[in-house]
Amino acid sequence: MTNPAEAEIKETVQANDVVLFMKGTSSMPQCGFSSRVAGVLNYMGVEYKDIDVLADENIRQGIKDFSDWPTIPQLYVKGEFVGGCDIITEMTISGELDTLLTDKGVAFDADAANKIREANQG
């Protein structure tokens, strides 16, 4: 643990079923990638904790070290790193995100998830 924020990150990830480390907040995203992932979660009705990495440089660097993943946003479900924007987008469209949330016991709106897939076909 080189970064003092890593203990705080670990605690946050373990204490919340779904955590999104993002630039900005769920209601005011500060980058397109964060906005896309927050938008998917919001639309699907997933309850999650948003952590604004821009508010704390230690968290911003710490989360990259913690996950060994270089980019923000980062989504965690039940303590496990799931991925960033591209991975979450792919998982949403393929239905893998629904399966993951279901397997982990995280509530979401399946109809909304289906609408996202319908909108992204073709």
Q: What is the CA radius of gyration of the chain?
A: 14
What pLDDT is attached to residue 121?
83
Per-residue model confidence (pLDDT) at position 4: 79
Structural domain for 107, as ranges: 5-119
Rounded alpha-carbon distances, angstroms, from residue 51 to 4, 15, 42, 95: 16, 13, 15, 25
pLDDT the model gives residue 2:
62
Average confidence (pLDDT) per 10 residues, the chain, 122 residues: 82 98 97 97 98 96 95 98 97 98 98 95 74
**How many domains are there within the chain?**
1
Paired residues of 83 in beta bridges = 75
The CATH number for 81's domain is 3.40.30.10
pTM metric for this prediction:
0.95
